[in-house]
Structure 1
Amino acid sequence: MSPAAHLCGLAAAASGWRAREAVAAYTVEGPKNNLPFCAELLENAEFVSGDYDTGLVGRMRS
């Protein structure tokens, strides 16, 4: 793996961590929202790896 590819992989991992932290820290009072689903999605191995398709939500809900 080239150094540039390694750095891109590290950046992607860091951005995923930041996204999970942001969703976990966000609070919405009042209206229903999809933050719990967003948190679940950010923990999903298929989504995190980038190897997913439009059937991912259905697989997550089955």
Structure 2
Amino acid sequence: MSNNPGPSSRSAAIAAAVILLITGLAFFVLPNVMVWLGEISPWLAAAAGAALVLAFFLVFWLRARYQRRGE
């Protein structure tokens, strides 16, 4: 048994890194977006923030479902 990671574990790590990078960038610009939306409506700003947080968990949940289906 070797210590080299298989192609599937490497693919999963790359996918997770890409998801985290995109989410990190989204959370980096989120305060500016919320201030901009808050000028229109505080409720719209809150909805945008909540949607981004929920989307973060939704992506990982969907990925887990897809991986379970493939087994």
Which interval holds the TM-score relative to the shorter structure?
0.3 to 0.5
Max radius of gyration: which structure? Answer: 2
TM-score by length of 1: 0.44
The structure with higher relative contact order (CA 8 Å, sep 6+) is 1
Whichever structure has more helix as a proportion of its residues is 2
TM-score by length of 2: 0.41
